[in-house]
Structure 1
Amino acid sequence: MDATLLDDARRSRDLERLGSRVDVLVVGGGVTGAGVALDAASRGLSVLLCERDDLASGTSRWSSKLVHGGLRYLAHGEVGLARESARERAVLMGTTAPHLVSPLAFLVPDVAGRDVSAVAGLGGVLGDAVRSSVAGGRGSLPRSRRVSRAEVAAWTPAVRPGRGGVAFWDGRLVDDARLVVALARTAAGRGASVLTGARVVGVDPGRAGSVVTVEVEGGRVAVEAGVVVVAAGVWSAALDDGVRLMPSRGSHLVLRADRLGSPTAALTVPLPGSRSRYVFALPQATGYVHLGITDEPVEGPVPDADPVPSAAEVAQLLATVNRVLADPLTPADVVGAHAGLRPLVLPASAGTGPGDATADLSRRHLLHRSGGVLTVVGGKLTTYRAMAEETVDAVVERLGRGARRSPTAGLPLVGAAPRRALDRVDAPSRLVGRYGTEAPAVHALGGDPVAPGRVETVGELRFAVRAEGARSVADLLDRRTRVGLVPADRAAARDVAERVLAEA
């Protein structure tokens, strides 16, 4: 029996054990919570992860799908954070998830301004130096360089003719939600219980641990936990009032790739008046391009519903990229849009209001301790493993048991293998890029598309139900696959998703 399978039988067993005491109860099934669950389980601790909705149902599915080395941090003088990002990128690309992360060229064309490409060139050189200074970084990506006019035209055909540009390389994550699912399944393989649809509604701390009230399957269960780790992103303050956050909305637009000439590099254009913020047109394997990202403060209570890009954000993204295009984009070219909320941490010295622009707040994470409750919040998707390691170090210290060193830097996620082995996997390359060594099993479940014009297959939906804990149409179309990013495609695929769920 495969212990990594999140199927109905595994869920039933985890529900039966729900009342048992655990060493660690993790609140939140995003990249941080799943990373903490894996780290804790790999150190020999008993773990229960509770997610109110589905894996990656919050911020973790709305990122730019980049595993980046922190060039923006260098622009703000945060060299330590840049080195941490570069180190964690090397870990993901080389060991933990080489099937999910690949190199991507970022092109800054001269038509954006020679001063702009010159600054990008300098940033690329600094980024190369940082990458070479960390373990596994040297040789993991090509070095930044000048590119010719012909290369600009070949890589980003929609850019109006110019002299050339600058290219630097970073990591592209095939799908942020797939990383979260792989983390959760790997944690399950190490003994962690992973329960979606399980909302934590109360934490009652005590000297010997906490009593956590969990709503699941229409009832409430009290769970004793030695330590509670709150990893609920922008919703963390609801369980820990000692955490102060300034949420920021990051929005993306979805465009058909052929509208931009089917680019093979990420077109990179600075926001007017900024040397550290860029708009990226990021090519996807699905035949679309994601254009982002914005950084807008969000005031007031944090809603449970998914955020929506504002009209001003749509206009800003289009206007910025149109500065370098031969044929400008219009709102009619936008076939989908999505937004997520970043949990930016307010420093202790900040006032009670929103203060300065969220773009200027540090992306460093916070680990807040309050007795047996630890809250980890902030940071970036790229550095999830380092955040989890620091958090579980604190858990082990409090419990007085569990391995003191984290093994996760050398622990491949489910589906991972060295690149040479992945190249020999007998399955379509697109599936290998999403499922790694499990791609043949996915392919065997059916190769028909879920909707006309889509590359996702019925086999992917079946695998999501049988192995990845998917329990609803939204789970299938919005997270295990990303068909839902284009509303028209989601509507076309809904009947197929319902039939797959009915098969289970």
Structure 2
Amino acid sequence: MFLSQLSPQQRDSAISELSSESFDILVIGGGVTGVGAALDAASRGLKVALIESQDLASGTSSRSSKLIHGGLRYLEQYDFKLVREALHERELMVSSLSPHLVKPVGFLFPLTEKFKERTYVGAGLALYDALRGFQRALPWHKHIGQKQINEIAPSLRPDLITGAIKYFDAQVDDARHTMTIARTAARHGAVIATRVSAVSLLREGKRVVGVKAKDLESGKTINISATATVMCAGVWSDELHAKFELKPGYNVAMSKGVHIVLPGSAIKSNAGIILKTPISVLFLIPWGDKWIVGTTDTPYTGDRAEPLASREDVQYILDQANRVLSPKLDVSQIIGVYAGLRPLVANNKDSATTKLSREHTVDRPAAGFVSIAGGKYTTYRVMAKDAIDRAVIELRAIKPESVTDKLPLVGADGYFALVQQVERLSESSGLDTDTITHLLNRYGSMISEVLELIEANPKLAAKVDKDLLYIKAEIEYAASYEGARTVDDVISRRTRIAFEASDHGVHLADEIAAIIAPVLGWSAKERKASVTAYEELVDRELEALDQLLEEHERVSS
């Protein structure tokens, strides 16, 4: 039986297997589509490997709006197929595939005109609800008057907002969800290795038969043999196609999406808020005791590895939100800022591309090689299925169909029963009920593994920071079970301390390094280097925000 644990020992074993075994499917890319493809292939009984040059979800898949949604704005584009598909996926995740990670969240759509706007928006939301079909894990939308608005969302301007319509979507910690898919893939036999970069393709004639890769930690070169290689590289697609000397049937245009993080006190509302803007929509999303507000949608041509928010990005978000809020948001309230890149597909009309939907494209630029790009986070499972459906043809044998629509992620099993046992778990573990609930909503039934670490070392029950819910056991667990290899992995993706803590977790970096160092076998020098690398990353990300604060102070004075 395979294990889901992504430990240092598992990585060592994976590196050895990559160089000595031959695989049916090799996946390049550890974002949500890549790990979804690995899970889809492994659960069909195929022999699968996945390599990622950095950390799982280190790119776009950790920098989204944290929403699992149908895409309300796509209704105006008459893209009913996409919305129906996304809503179906949302219902699956909330109800059976990952209920421990994907949670319903209510949104208000504020109205400024009493009749025409209410009719138009109400009809759109009625269609939105209808498109999800008979599976209904979330409530129907409902109309709300001005009096109720004042009770639910006091921060919405009473002189402007005449009412609202409340509807439901869902939210997720995207990086945790992506990592959990990877663990589920490992549970079904996928060999997964991060910090392994694809250098070039291995070929027999015109057919791709694998990849020459480099272990970025040891510097060792590995030849990985695979009947079919599937590239899920997102915004890196164009660069890798060129590197591999392939002519793809599509190009990827990058669009930058920026979000700001605010304290809970900045907006008084018991529901999220969605606003229509001249460009797109803006979400004000509750995130624990904080708010995430975004996003932007601007062309991007800079560094793919570190997209940074500009002063203009942040100002745009504040300006759009402040149209309806009272009191207005102030730049000095901002706790954190993060930016992600959307891989938007631009199809080449002359290519032999198979366009599976408006939102994602699967391509076969060479025998034995399949690539996929585009899409949205919510439909990752469909994208993964489509990519593997095409890759399976390369195997020249009849293989089973995808079963991922019926395959819960690790931690989902027994989750609903465990939620009923919070008091008992609190009593037996000595942790308060808030911490138990927090752990259940991050690990589901795998909470037992976290509690075992505390049983072995009771000091791990302490909180990492008095203002955050994370406990020290989660930090050790990130390195021993979840594939974290650096301080940045832990602070930015296994937890979300990077944008939840006031200083982006810099004050916790040393302590976190001390907890994971024994697990990873670090020397004192390696431990210090990992802390320094994170501090330098934060310095770069804070530069744009510092400029905005300085300008704000000049204007105020």
TM-score, normalisation: structure 1: 0.91
Identify if the C-alpha distance between structure 1 residues 409 and 469 changes in structure 2 by more than 3 Å, giving closer, same or farther: same
Indicate the residue corresponding to 2:546 in structure 1: none
**Structure in which a larger fraction of residues adopt helix:** 2
What SS is found at the alignment partner of 1:416? Answer: coil
What SS is found at the alignment partner of 1:244? Answer: strand
Q: Which of residues 263, 267, 270 in structure 2 aligns to 1:260?
A: 267
Identify if the C-alpha distance between structure 1 residues 119 and 463 changes in structure 2 by more than 3 Å, giving closer, same or farther: farther
Offset, 1:116: 4.9
Q: Which of residues 363, 369, 372 in structure 1 aligns to 2:364?
A: 369
2:450 equivalent to 1:442:
yes
Indicate the residue corresponding to 1:357 in structure 2: none
The answer to whether the Cα contact below 8 Å between 2:440 and 2:447 also exists between their aligned partners in 1 is yes
Hey, what's the Cα distance between the residues in 2 that align with 1:429 and 1:380? 29
Indicate the residue corresponding to 1:181 in structure 2: 179
Question: Superposed, which structure 2 residues align to 1:190-339 within 5 Å?
Answer: 190-206=188-204, 209-216=208-215, 217-240=218-241, 241-242=247-248, 243-261=250-268, 263-271=269-277, 273=278, 277-285=280-288, 287-299=289-301, 303-339=303-339
Question: Superposed, which structure 2 residues align to 1:395-414 within 5 Å?
Answer: 395-401=391-397, 403-414=399-410
Offset, 1:120: 2.9
Hey, what's the Cα distance between the residues in 1 that align with 2:358 and 2:266? 33
The answer to whether the Cα contact below 8 Å between 2:415 and 2:440 also exists between their aligned partners in 1 is no
Offset, 1:330: 1.7
Identify if the C-alpha distance between structure 1 residues 148 and 205 changes in structure 2 by more than 3 Å, giving closer, same or farther: farther
Unaligned runs of 5+ in 1: 351-361
Offset, 1:349: 4.8
The one-letter code matched in structure 1 to 2:270 is T
Superposed CA deviations along residues 33-67 of structure 1, whole A, max 9, x for unmatched, are: 00000011111111110000100000000111111
Question: Superposed, which structure 2 residues align to 1:414-425 within 5 Å?
Answer: 414-417=410-413, 420-425=416-421
Identify if the C-alpha distance between structure 1 residues 501 and 387 changes in structure 2 by more than 3 Å, giving closer, same or farther: same
- CA-based RMSD: 2.1
The answer to whether the Cα contact below 8 Å between 1:99 and 1:422 also exists between their aligned partners in 2 is no
The one-letter code matched in structure 1 to 2:10 is R
Q: Which of residues 366, 371, 378 in structure 1 aligns to 2:374?
A: 378
The answer to whether the Cα contact below 8 Å between 1:37 and 1:187 also exists between their aligned partners in 2 is yes
Unaligned runs of 5+ in 2: 242-246, 351-356, 427-435, 455-459, 520-557
Superposed CA deviations along residues 234-257 of structure 1, whole A, max 9, x for unmatched, are: 001122241301110011001111
Identify if the C-alpha distance between structure 1 residues 189 and 402 changes in structure 2 by more than 3 Å, giving closer, same or farther: farther
The one-letter code matched in structure 2 to 1:292 is G
The answer to whether the Cα contact below 8 Å between 1:95 and 1:409 also exists between their aligned partners in 2 is no
Hey, what's the Cα distance between the residues in 1 that align with 2:73 and 2:316? 20
Offset, 1:259: 1.4
Hey, what's the Cα distance between the residues in 2 that align with 1:172 and 1:156? 19
Hey, what's the Cα distance between the residues in 2 that align with 1:330 and 1:416? 40
Identify if the C-alpha distance between structure 1 residues 2 and 222 changes in structure 2 by more than 3 Å, giving closer, same or farther: closer
What SS is found at the alignment partner of 1:474? Answer: helix
Indicate the residue corresponding to 1:466 in structure 2: 480
The answer to whether the Cα contact below 8 Å between 2:114 and 2:163 also exists between their aligned partners in 1 is no
Hey, what's the Cα distance between the residues in 2 that align with 1:113 and 1:463? 52
Offset, 1:430: 1.6
Hey, what's the Cα distance between the residues in 2 that align with 1:461 and 1:363? 40
Hey, what's the Cα distance between the residues in 2 that align with 1:331 and 1:363? 37
The one-letter code matched in structure 1 to 2:362 is L
Hey, what's the Cα distance between the residues in 2 that align with 1:239 and 1:233? 10
The one-letter code matched in structure 2 to 1:293 is T
Identify if the C-alpha distance between structure 1 residues 121 and 422 changes in structure 2 by more than 3 Å, giving closer, same or farther: farther
Identify if the C-alpha distance between structure 1 residues 237 and 183 changes in structure 2 by more than 3 Å, giving closer, same or farther: same
Question: Superposed, which structure 2 residues align to 1:153-168 within 5 Å?
Answer: 153-161=150-158, 162-168=161-167
Decide which moves more: 241-250 or 371-380. Answer: 241-250
The answer to whether the Cα contact below 8 Å between 1:98 and 1:417 also exists between their aligned partners in 2 is no
The answer to whether the Cα contact below 8 Å between 1:233 and 1:343 also exists between their aligned partners in 2 is yes
Identify if the C-alpha distance between structure 1 residues 176 and 17 changes in structure 2 by more than 3 Å, giving closer, same or farther: same
The answer to whether the Cα contact below 8 Å between 2:259 and 2:296 also exists between their aligned partners in 1 is yes
Indicate the residue corresponding to 2:544 in structure 1: none
Indicate the residue corresponding to 1:490 in structure 2: 505
Offset, 1:231: 0.3
Hey, what's the Cα distance between the residues in 1 that align with 2:309 and 2:207? 45
The answer to whether the Cα contact below 8 Å between 1:40 and 1:47 also exists between their aligned partners in 2 is yes
Hey, what's the Cα distance between the residues in 1 that align with 2:369 and 2:151? 53
Hey, what's the Cα distance between the residues in 2 that align with 1:339 and 1:74? 26
The one-letter code matched in structure 2 to 1:254 is V
Hey, what's the Cα distance between the residues in 1 that align with 2:72 and 2:175? 24
2:366 equivalent to 1:389:
no
Decide which moves more: 109-118 or 83-92. Answer: 109-118
Identify if the C-alpha distance between structure 1 residues 218 and 197 changes in structure 2 by more than 3 Å, giving closer, same or farther: same
The answer to whether the Cα contact below 8 Å between 1:54 and 1:197 also exists between their aligned partners in 2 is yes
Identify if the C-alpha distance between structure 1 residues 111 and 24 changes in structure 2 by more than 3 Å, giving closer, same or farther: same
Identify if the C-alpha distance between structure 1 residues 203 and 267 changes in structure 2 by more than 3 Å, giving closer, same or farther: same
Identify if the C-alpha distance between structure 1 residues 126 and 202 changes in structure 2 by more than 3 Å, giving closer, same or farther: same
Q: How many percent of aligned residue pairs carry the same amino acid? A: 35
Q: Which of residues 465, 474, 497 in structure 2 aligns to 1:451?
A: 465
